[in-house]
Amino acid sequence: MRRGFGWSHLWSVALVCLALGVTACSGSDTGGTPSAAANDVTFVATEYAFSGPDTIAAGWTTIHLRNDGKELHHLGLMKLDEGKTMADVEALMASGADAPDFIQFFGGPNAVIGPIEGAATVNLEEGNYVALCVIPGADGVPHAAKGMMKAITVSGQGGASAPVADMTVELADFTFVHDAPFSAGKHTIEVTNTAKQPHEIVIVKLDPGKTAADFVGAFAPGAPPGPPPGTPMGGLSPIAPGQVAYFDTDLVPGNYAAICFLDDAASQKIHAELGMMEEFTIK
């Protein structure tokens, strides 16, 4: 299975993998410590674990993701309902049940590969969270099913405020709506989900002569093995309807795509197939 690296579809794949005996585990606590002033935290991705803080202060938090692995990785945060823990998630996954109704998508840095680093700023509420990477490997198994999950507790209150954005992007059903064209250089982009279901935005620098459809097609069932025709440059992992979050990016000249890989339950298609992919050129 290589269909996309969004969340809805890959949750089901992760359930099957864990039911077959793949054990989930969290990374060691070797990452940065959140600052009350800046509320910055850093996670390091490898095959197949996150290292980083176990506890983060609530409030606006910039999450940095450094990928020291050889495969694509992203970090998405799921907030669990009160009383739920990562053990509940693991138990549900091992049982083969459907995606739980006790989670809420809170975003995080989307897919990057070294030496590119991702950064996303999210407004964290107190509670228990799980950080996951559900991008599939060449074998089609999501990284979360290989152990790339980490329990995080959010408590207290940080002193940071929302960052100042120079561009806004609205996640709708099924398109990206922005207030200005993407342009060269460093940007902090505000993202709002105005839709009725979770959405994400993945920024991809396309290989010469390739299109957004080519990149999406590289993750389709039956696609030939090998790397996709582009380099993910970060973006924002899925956020729930009504949420606002931010991501940082640095765009150099080339052809790009903005893509949402999540599944639509009604049509059984990924959002990109329903129109949620956009190409743009940076000069």
pTM reported for the whole predicted model: 0.88
Specify whether 46 is located in the same domain as 178: no
Number of domains composing the chain: 2
Structural domain includes residue 232: yes
Residue type at position 153 = T
- Angle formed at CA 220 by CA 214 and CA 222, multiple of 5 degrees: 115
More confident residue, 263 or 28: 263
> Dihedral through CA 258, CA 234, CA 54, CA 121, nearest 10?
-70
- φ/ψ of residue 14, rounded to 5: -60, -35
pLDDT tens per residue across span 226-264: 889 999 999 999 999 999 999 999 999 999 999 999 999
**134 and 260 assigned to the same domain:** no
pLDDT, tens digit (0-9, with 9 covering 90-100), for 35-81: 333 489 999 999 999 999 999 999 999 999 999 999 999 999 999 99
Q: Is residue 1 part of a domain?
A: no
H or E segment and range at residue 136: none
CATH number at residue 53: 2.60.40.420
Same domain, 132 and 241: no
Average pLDDT score over the chain: 86
User: Is residue 202 located within the same domain as residue 65?
Assistant: no
- Is residue 80 a part of any domain in this protein? yes
Residues 119 and 252 in one domain: no
Are residues 180 and 49 both part of a single domain? Answer: no
Nearest to 10 by CA among 119, 124, 149: 149
Where does a domain end: 123, 155, 187? 155
Q: Tell whether 109 and 180 lie within a shared domain.
A: no
Q: Which of 133, 155, 177 is the last residue of a domain?
A: 155
Radius of gyration of the chain, Cα coordinates, nearest whole angstrom: 17
Same domain assignment for residues 38 and 101? yes
Residue 17 belongs to some domain of the structure: yes
Contact 23, 124 (CB under 8 A): no
* Residue 180 in tokens: 């200005």
Mean pLDDT of 171-178: 97
* Pair 179, 143 in one domain: no
132 & 34 share domain: yes
**One domain, residues 235 and 122:** no
Average pLDDT (10-25) is: 46
Q: Is 20 part of any domain?
A: yes
List residues bridging with 63 in a β-sheet.
Answer: 41, 120
Domain that holds residue 211: 167-282
Tokens of 204: 């991809």
What band does 86 get if pLDDT is binned at 50, 70 and 90?
confident
Q: Which of 155, 180, 213 corresponds to the end of one domain?
A: 155
Residue 220 lies in a domain: yes
Q: How many CB atoms lie within 10 A of CB 172?
A: 16
In one-letter notation, the amino acid at residue 86 is: M
| 3: in domain | no
